[in-house]
A = this chain, B = another copy of it.
């Protein structure tokens, strides 16, 4: 846990005290063999068991990915940590550890930054992925950049989809986007129980690490759904040089009933939330039918061609990859 503050108003001693507090909190998360040296030096030292490392970085920025009024500080720590580790899950990797680069306004309430760290520590425990270092800096807005390393014998890539593969969905879709929409459009006093459930799905996603590990040797390609099913299916299609044809009915069946209820109350299409929402951190994969694990749902097929198509009854339309309904 280092910092490199410069020409700022806050005394350096304050940052050192914060680092000492974080060091004590996170120390509890990394009592394991692969961590040789945790927080407190220029860098952390790891001794991974395997030779193949999977390495990712992800950011959560205030007013871009969240507003502090939308979730508790602890939710934010949890959310950002799971979002980062979800990339490891999508690669079929077992998490080894993470570094947290925190940027905080000088005036931030102690409860907030400590809450963020507590949420990270809880997520670290739940995911068996210790926080072994990081960085602390001042900034005008809260942002959390999390970098995580995992080990994988055979990492699952985006570019392995084969013509004839089934398209698999692991986990639910649509609820997080419905929840986010509630946060943006409905005052909390007016939330019903379904809305509260969807909001909680958005606030507390869970990286599907075990499921990712369960895809190894079965899936030919995989990705986590962070941009929305359509966009992330587009990434597989493009990287693999194939076309993904998705079955609207099969996707509908992967949308939780409460998300459908909320969508209808908001006057939105639940399918649209599922296709373009993201942030459920479900996994999308492709593989041979005979190898589909019990926890994966078939939602389409891989064909020759390019792009992502949606089939509904007799209709088959090309859907724009990466289209995001929040930008309208």
Query: A interface vs B, CB < 8 Å?
Result: 2-13, 16, 36-37, 40-48, 51-59, 61, 63-65, 83, 87-88, 90-91, 93, 97, 99-101, 103, 132-135, 137-141, 143, 145, 147, 149-150, 152, 155, 157-159, 180, 184, 222-224, 226-227, 231, 239, 278-279, 322-324, 326-327
CB-CB < 8 A to A40: which residues of B? 158, 239
* Nearest CB in chain B to that of A90: its residue: B42
Contact check: which of B6, B12, B326 meets A64 at CB < 8 Å?
Answer: B6
CB-CB < 8 A to A159: which residues of B? 41
**Interface of A: prevailing SS:** mixed
The 13 sampled A-B contact pairs (Cβ below 8 Å) are A2-B87, A2-B226, A4-B59, A4-B83, A5-B324, A7-B326, A8-B326, A43-B55, A45-B53, A61-B138, A64-B139, A65-B137, A101-B145
In angstroms, Cα B328 to Cα A11, docked, is: 9
In angstroms, Cα B13 to Cα A1, docked, is: 36
Assuming the contacts A37-B157, A224-B42, asked whether A141 and B138 have C-beta atoms less than 8 A apart, the reply is no
CB distance from A319 to the nearest CB of B (A): 14
Assuming the contacts A55-B99, A145-B145, asked whether A41 and B158 have C-beta atoms less than 8 A apart, the reply is yes
In angstroms, Cα B143 to Cα A170, docked, is: 34
| In contact, B12 and A322 (Cβ under 8 angstroms) | yes
| In contact, A6 and B65 (Cβ under 8 angstroms) | yes
Assuming the contacts A8-B64, A147-B57, asked whether A47 and B43 have C-beta atoms less than 8 A apart, the reply is no
Assuming the contacts A141-B140, A155-B45, A239-B40, asked whether A227 and B4 have C-beta atoms less than 8 A apart, the reply is yes
* Nearest CB in chain B to that of A88: its residue: B43
CB-CB < 8 A to A51: which residues of B? 47-48
CB-CB < 8 A to A149: which residues of B? 53, 55, 149
CB-CB < 8 A to A143: which residues of B? 103, 139, 143
